[in-house]
Chain A
C-alpha cells in the first residue's frame, strides 16, 4: 500500500492505495468524488477524463501512485463558487447532454480545449472532442455547446 497526496480541485487529499489503483477508482472510491464517470476502462470512451496539472487525461489509464503530488481537476472542481462554469452553463443551455453519463468527460475535455483554443472552428471542435463518446445526443448539440461555451468565456474573462 502507498500513501499518496493528490491536490484535487485545489485541496490536498490523502489516500492509502495499492499500486494498481486507477486514478478513476481512487477519485471515486477513496476520495468519494463520484462525478468522474467510469465507462470502458480502457481509454476509448473518454467518460473518465480529468485534468492532470491542467491537461486532460484518461483517469482510467493512469495509476494514482504515478500522479502522487500532482494537481487533479475533476468535474466537481469546474464550477465557480456561485454558479456553474461557462462550459457547464453552455452544455445546459444548448442541451449538450441527455443521460449525462459522458458529460463529466466532455466538460473536462472542453474546458482545457477552449483554454488552448478560445475560438475554434467546427472542424477543430470535432477534433477536440473526438476522444469522447456520447451515445445519446448525436453530438450536434455538444458541438453547439462547445461553441456557446467559447462565446460565454469570451464575454467573461477571468
Chain B
C-alpha cells in the first residue's frame, strides 16, 4: 500500500502550475488535499507520471462571499468552508452538505474544488454545485474559462477538465429559498447509497413556487430534476409525493453494487426526496 513513484512538482503560482501541467500533458495530475487521490495512489489504482502539488500556490485558499453566492478557491479545505459563517449565510447548502463529507479529520485536509474535480457520482459537493447551477473556473497557459456545472460533470469520475488545465475555483450561487441535504450511508462518513440535495422556494401562502433536487449515487453524474411542476403549486403539506417521487425516479439510473441493489437505491432516493424537500421547506 505505497504510492508508485512519480515526478514531483511544487509550483508557487498559478502561472507556474499551468506551465508545468502544459509541459507534462496527460501524464500530469494535480494534488491538492489528496484525500481521494492518495488512496487511489496507495491502492495503485492510479499511477500518474507527474504530480503537480498546488499546496504552495499562493492565493488559492480564499473563500469569497457576496450576495450572489460563494466562490471557493482550489485550496480551501472542506473544514474552512464548513466553518465559514459568511459562506453558510450566503449558501447554507454548502455547510449542510459538508457535514456529510467523510469525517472531520478528512475534511481538515480535503478541498471543495478537489471533490468537484474528482467528480465521484456518490459525492455530495458535485450534487450541490449541479443543483445550484454553479460553475468551475479552469486555468491553463492559454487563459481561463468558466464551465457550468451542467457541462462539467461528464461521467463517473470524469469532468470537462482538459489536459493542462487547473481548476482554480468554484462558484456556488446563492438561492432565494430553503435548502437541505439528506443521505443514507451504511456507515457514518461513508459514501452515500443514496442522497438528495433540495432547493425549494415558497410564496407567501407557503405554496411551492420552485423546487429542484439533485440525486447522488443514482447515475453517472449528479441527477438534477426540476420538480416544481410535480409539486403542483401546492403547500408542502398538500403535495402529492407519489407524483414527485415518480418524476424523480423516472430520471435516475441507479446501479447495484456491494452496498445496495439498484431497486433499493431507487426506493431510498424516493424516500429522501420527500425528506429533503420537506426539510428545505422547513416543515
Partners in one complex: yes
- Residue B103 CB within 8 A of the other chain: yes
- Residue A19 CB within 8 A of the other chain: yes
Q: Is the CB of A62 within 8 A of B38?
A: yes
Q: Is the CB of B8 within 8 A of A131?
A: no
Give the nearest-CB partner of A25 in chain B: B2
Q: How many Å lie between the Cα of A60 and that of B51 in the bound state?
A: 17
Of the candidates B3, B10, B39, the one whose C-beta lies within 8 Å of that of A20 is: B3
- Residue A37 CB within 8 A of the other chain: no
Q: Give residues of chain B (1-27) contacting chain A, Cβ–Cβ below 8 Å.
A: 1-8, 10
- Residue A140 CB within 8 A of the other chain: no
Q: Is the CB of B103 within 8 A of A66?
A: no
Give the nearest-CB partner of A43 in chain B: B39
Of the candidates B3, B4, B6, B38, the one whose C-beta lies within 8 Å of that of A43 is: B38
Q: Is the CB of A127 within 8 A of B104?
A: yes
Q: Is the CB of B1 within 8 A of A131?
A: no
Interface class of chain B by DSSP: loop
Q: How many Å lie between the Cα of A132 and that of B38 in the bound state?
A: 18
- Residue A55 CB within 8 A of the other chain: yes
Which of B105-113, B140-148, B172-180 forms part of the interface with chain A?
A: B105-113
In the assembled complex, which residues on chain B have CB atoms less than 8 Å from the CB atom of A58? Answer: 35, 105-106, 109
In the assembled complex, which residues on chain A have CB atoms less than 8 Å from the CB atom of B10? Answer: 65-66
Of the candidates B2, B8, B34, B102, the one whose C-beta lies within 8 Å of that of A19 is: B8
Asked whether A61 and B104 contact (CB < 8 A) given A20-B3, A131-B189, the answer is: no
Q: Is the CB of B109 within 8 A of A22?
A: no
- Residue B43 CB within 8 A of the other chain: yes
Q: How many Å lie between the Cα of A127 and that of B188 in the bound state?
A: 9
Q: Give residues of chain B (76-102) contacting chain A, Cβ–Cβ below 8 Å.
A: 79, 102
In the assembled complex, which residues on chain A have CB atoms less than 8 Å from the CB atom of B31? Answer: 63, 66
In the assembled complex, which residues on chain B have CB atoms less than 8 Å from the CB atom of A56? Answer: 104-105, 108
* Min C-beta distance of B154 to chain A, whole Å: 26
Give the nearest-CB partner of A67 in chain B: B55
In the assembled complex, which residues on chain A have CB atoms less than 8 Å from the CB atom of B103? Answer: 46, 130-131
* Min C-beta distance of B80 to chain A, whole Å: 10
In the assembled complex, which residues on chain A have CB atoms less than 8 Å from the CB atom of B39? Answer: 42-43, 61
Q: How many Å lie between the Cα of A41 and that of B44 in the bound state?
A: 12
Contact with B along A14-38 (1 / 0, CB 8 A): 0000111010010000000000000
Asked whether A57 and B1 contact (CB < 8 A) given A62-B34, A66-B31, the answer is: no
- Residue B163 CB within 8 A of the other chain: no
Of the candidates A41, A66, A109, the one whose C-beta lies within 8 Å of that of B105 is: A109
Q: How many Å lie between the Cα of A132 and that of B105 in the bound state?
A: 9
- Residue A145 CB within 8 A of the other chain: no
Contact with B along A51-82 (1 / 0, CB 8 A): 01001111011110110000000000000000
Q: Is the CB of A61 within 8 A of B38?
A: yes
Asked whether A128 and B51 contact (CB < 8 A) given A61-B39, A65-B8, the answer is: no
* Min C-beta distance of A92 to chain B, whole Å: 23
In the assembled complex, which residues on chain B have CB atoms less than 8 Å from the CB atom of A132? Answer: 105
A-B pairs with the 7 shortest C-beta distances?
Answer: A131-B103, A19-B8, A41-B1, A42-B39, A20-B3, A61-B38, A55-B108
State the B residues within 8 Å of A (CB). 1-8, 10, 31, 34-35, 38-39, 41-43, 51, 53, 55, 79, 102-106, 108-109, 188-189
